[in-house]
Every structure is written in structure tokens, then in C-alpha cells.
Amino acid sequence: MTTRQFDLIAFDWDGTLFDSTVIITRSNLAAVVDVGGAKPSDQDASYVIGMGLMQALAHAAPDVTQDKYPMLGERYKFHYAQSMDDITLFNGILELLDALKQRDYLLAVATGKSRRGLDDALQAVELKGLFHASRTADQTAGKPDPLMLHELMEELNVPPERTLMIGDTTHDLLMAQNAGCASVAVSYGAHEPASFAAFNPLHIAHSVAELDAWMVKYA
């Protein structure tokens, strides 16, 4: 039997577990236009996925003044809420999480979402009890700052070398590097997989099924 490498597996949320990247990109674009900013490119609007809200606003809407950030945030939330019913877990994710928990891994969420946003999402998709801990950007610091991973490892008493971060953006992979953790990237989310190699992920999974197969064999 292969000795497993990891005890704690931390997942990003949007674009990794939750199929929400198109909705977030669309909501970012609409919010910027609503407050009079220049419409960002789809690439800029999707690049900020995973960041904390203030980081994301500064990148996606550099011409919008900070005094308009509260309004920009409210418009984003408005547009996102209009599409909540269109957002679901990626096919196979629930089965993957169940299998990992059955194998006694510690499971966590490390996300750029707000605490309220994550709590609402967990409620909506009935994932209560699957995750041992979670951290959000507004609780800690936005990615790629490693604070949320540091706090998760401290809470669950797992060292960096026994922790694996899984995410769909370069922000996730750089956060893992900054925390001294290994990472796996998924290419079905927000960022282009060509950008992942610089951060040395152990694997790039192109589907949930491929991620599952890698986890069974190597994690």
C-alpha cells in the first residue's frame, strides 16, 4: 500500500469546487460599467477571481476611484445574486469530497470569497459537515498572502509538508508556495493552464475525474 503524502487538503472554492467563474466574470464586468468605469476585458475580469474584494476591484477597475468601491461592491453583489441559481458544484466534486473524507483526510476551504458568501454557498449546496475548517479573505488576507493557509494548518495541527492546496488560479498556487505547501492546479476554472508551470504544481488536472484519479494514486 502506498504511503500517503498529505493529511490536510485545502481547496479553493470558485472555479475549483464551484462552477461560478463565468458568473463572477460577468458580474465584475457589469458592476464596473454600472459605476461609470471602463469595461474591463474578460481576461482582467476573470484574472481577479480568488482575490479579496479590494484587491480585485483595484485590478479590474483601475479607473474607478476608491470612494466608489462600496457602490462597486454592492453592484457586484447585485449582479451575482441574480445568477445564484445558475451556479452549481462541478460534476463529480461531491463524490470526490466524500471519498476523501472516507479516507480520513482533513478537508478545508481557502477562498477569496467573503465569510458570509462562503457560508451562504455551503448552505446552498448542502456541504455541511464535509469540511473541517475554512478561511476567507475578509477573515485573514487575500491571496497570494499565505495567512489563510497558515491559520488552517495551525487550527488543524498539520505542518506545511503534509498540506496540499488545490486551486484554479495562479493566486492559489503562489499562496501555496508562500506557505511552504505543495499544490495541484485545475485547468477547468478561471486561469489559463499555461500560466501554472511557473509555480511548480505537482499536477495539472484537466477535469474532476482526472483530479480524482491523481488523488487516489498520489495524495
**Where in the sequence is the domain holding 16, given as residue range(s)?**
8-20+87-218
The answer, yes or no, to whether residue 126 has pLDDT greater than 70, is no
- pTM of this prediction? 0.79
Task: Please check whether residues 70 and 174 belong to one and the same domain.
Answer: no
Task: Please check whether residues 105 and 179 belong to one and the same domain.
Answer: yes
Task: Please check whether residues 30 and 93 belong to one and the same domain.
Answer: no
Q: Which residue has the cell 503534509?
A: 162
The CATH number assigned to the domain holding 146 equals 3.40.50.1000
Task: Please check whether residues 78 and 161 belong to one and the same domain.
Answer: no
**19 by DSSP, 3-state: which?**
strand
Cell (9 digits) for 38 = 471602463
Burial class (CB in 10 A: 0-12, 13-18, 19+), 148: buried
Task: Please check whether residues 53 and 133 belong to one and the same domain.
Answer: no
**CA atoms of 159 and 182, how far apart (whole Å):** 11
Task: Please check whether residues 94 and 75 belong to one and the same domain.
Answer: no
Within a domain: 2: no
Within a domain: 1: no
What's the domain count of the chain?
Answer: 2
Return the pLDDT at 1: 46
Query: For residues 145 and 50, which has the higher predicted lDDT (pLDDT)?
Result: 145
- Stated as kind and residue range, the H or E segment containing 71 is helix 69-82
The answer, yes or no, to whether residue 109 has pLDDT greater than 50, is yes
Cis peptide before 160, with omega less than 30 degrees from 0? no
Query: What is the number of helices (H) and of strands (E) in the chain?
Result: 9, 8
Task: Please check whether residues 204 and 156 belong to one and the same domain.
Answer: yes
pLDDT digits (tens, 9 = 90+) for 3-25: 899 999 999 998 899 887 778 78
The confidence band for 2, taking pLDDT boundaries of 50, 70 and 90, is low
Q: Which of 61, 85, 109 marks a domain boundary? A: 85
Task: Please check whether residues 174 and 204 belong to one and the same domain.
Answer: yes
The CATH number assigned to the domain holding 53 equals 1.10.150
Task: Please check whether residues 79 and 129 belong to one and the same domain.
Answer: no
Return the pLDDT at 128: 78
Task: Please check whether residues 96 and 176 belong to one and the same domain.
Answer: yes
